[in-house]
Amino acid sequence: MLKIVLVPINKAGWPFIVIFAVLGAGMTWLYPPLAFAGLVLTLWCVYFFRDPDRYTPVRSGLVISPADGVVQMIDRAAPPEELGMGDEQRTRVAVFMNVFNVHVNRVPVDGKISKIAYRPGKFLNASLDKASEFNERMALKMTTDDGRDVVFVQIAGLVARRILCWCKEGDVMQAGQRFGMIRFGSRVDIYLPQGVEPLVVLGQTAVAGETVIADFNSRETARRGEIRQGYHDGTQ
């Protein structure tokens, strides 16, 4: 129970938590009935910057979700042009984070950060397809030990105004390690190597550092998902 309640807070959140707490105190001093609103906003800020530990599957070949949220799009697209990878399309999986998701992002595979490219842009709703093209973003290319390139892109959203990336080119990292976060609601796209199909489906909830997005060693075709209605009460 303590692990559920006492979730670690990412250090990037403490300045905001202090600001929210001071504003809440000021609201209470100016107009006491606003005390509850100030408390709720401060608690929400604490909740937003939570940074729980995750149990990452470590088998070779697994591609792990870099973000918490809903698998909002699976399609084919070329990686961001600033990475210089050409126009060849790859399977792209987009994970949309709302303001209640954990926003700490995690590395999807073991390997070396071979390129990082930031591009300024707009702040359209991150759930829109055109957000991948027009919104502010941070694109990272990671090269695995066997020479495969996996691209993951932090995309700012309608509310998000700050992308944080804590790694740098040349860093050797492991799947599940924290590499950055996006402040307040956004999206992360991941581009898979050619011939690799996703093991997630549209509408599925992904957990950063835990959910297996794809497997280099799998020959399974793209999965289909559906909502199963009803229940079984044990009777025949």
Each domain of the chain, given as residue ranges in start order, spans: 2-48, 62-215
Which of residues 15 and 214 earns the better pLDDT score? 214
**Region class of 176: left (phi > 0), else alpha (psi between -120 and 50), else beta:** left
Q: pLDDT tens-digit profile of 99-124?
A: 888 889 999 999 999 999 998 876 66
- Give the domain 62-215 fold: Glucose Permease (Domain IIA) (2.70.70)
Contact 152, 140 (CB under 8 A): yes
Kindly report the average pLDDT of the chain as a whole number: 86
Residue 127 is a catalytic residue: no
Q: What is the pTM of this model?
A: 0.85
Mean pLDDT to the nearest integer, 7-14: 78
Q: Which of 114, 127, 186, 218 is catalytic?
A: 186
Report the pLDDT value the prediction gives residue 129, as an integer from 0 to 100.
Answer: 65
Contact 85, 149 (CB under 8 A): yes
Q: pLDDT tens-digit profile of 140-177?
A: 999 999 999 999 999 886 665 678 899 999 999 999 99
Which of residues 180 and 186 earns the better pLDDT score? 180
Q: pLDDT tens-digit profile of 50-85?
A: 888 999 999 989 999 999 999 999 999 999 999 999
Contact 152, 97 (CB under 8 A): no
Q: Which residues contact 159 (CB under 8 A, 6 or more apart)?
A: 99, 184, 185
Q: pLDDT tens-digit profile of 181-213?
A: 887 668 899 999 999 999 999 999 999 999 999
